[in-house]
Amino acid sequence: MISGTTRWYAVLGDPVTQVRAPELLNPVLAGFDAVLVPLHVRPDDLAGTLAGLARVRNLDGLLVTVPHKAAVCRLAAAAGPAAALAGTANALRRRPSGGWFAENFDGLGFVRGLTAAGHAVSGRRFGLAGAGGAGSAIAVALLDAGAAGVAVSDVDAGRRDALVARLEGVAPGRIHAVSPAAVTDADVVVNATPLGMRPDDRLPFDPAAAAPGTLVVEIIMKPRETELLRKAAESGLAVHHGSHMLDQQVGCYRDFFGWPR
């Protein structure tokens, strides 16, 4: 029951119809009189929205989805190590001194989701389609977890190259830029783009080009069975659903926001 004592959280995105965070986290938040609501915010309104929400005294934190993850990192007053390295954030908490503190748990949740499902990260070669908000965080976490290599493609070559240059300094020789067609030359191929959220989206890469035994991984959560995963399964490849990444972030959010256990 929402009352005058309820603490508020919001998830910001454009669109927000696909977000699973409210259904996943509200049962957790109900245990200590808090609630998470989705807010549809256009990119041009993001800075003003963040400034306005900072003035709402019973709102304690924000989650962030596409396309705002890079922008909120720039707008935050301070950032944690994963967000600073990725250049993107998916969680913001209020700072006692004012403004927002940003961190990114997409990568950690992604790696934990893979390992919980029995898929090793250390020593394996990853192809990563997408160097945006989630993709950049996933690249950081894969390298930190010991991936043998991460090959990154993106339709925005400048964004791809900037990510590779930034991470080459912390993982020399283990990250490099590739064309979208070459991303399937890996042990694990990941779609970290928004392609697949809409029925008429093109495939982010052709799973039929991957070698037998390749694992095809999705980060899109709705729909659960994207066209990419269907095509990969039809080609006889193992698949890994996007829901695992968010499920494994619940513990991260508990620690970040100080939620009781």
Q: Is the peptide bond preceding residue 199 cis, with omega within 30 degrees of 0?
A: no
Per the DSSP assignment, residues forming a β-bridge with 125 are 149
* Class of residue 260 by CB neighbours under 10 A (exposed 0-12, middle 13-18, buried 19+): exposed
Q: What does the alpha-carbon distance between residue 141 and residue 111 come to, in Å, rounded to a whole number?
A: 7
pLDDT digits (tens, 9 = 90+) for 201-219: 999 999 999 999 999 999 9
* Class of residue 184 by CB neighbours under 10 A (exposed 0-12, middle 13-18, buried 19+): buried
pLDDT digits (tens, 9 = 90+) for 71-110: 999 999 999 999 999 999 999 999 999 999 999 999 999 9
Q: Which amino acid is at 81?
A: P
Q: What is the mean pLDDT of the chain?
A: 96
pLDDT digits (tens, 9 = 90+) for 51-67: 999 999 999 999 999 99
69 is known as an active-site residue: yes
Q: What does the alpha-carbon distance between residue 232 and residue 254 come to, in Å, rounded to a whole number?
A: 34
pLDDT digits (tens, 9 = 90+) for 94-104: 999 999 999 99
Return the C-alpha torsion angle 51, 65, 86, 158, nearest 10: -100
Lowest mean pLDDT among 6-10, 124-128, 246-250: 246-250
- pTM score: 0.92
Measured CA distances, 17 to 11, 66, 110, 186, 222 (Å) = 11, 11, 22, 32, 9
Annotated catalytic residue, options 68, 69, 93, 159: 69
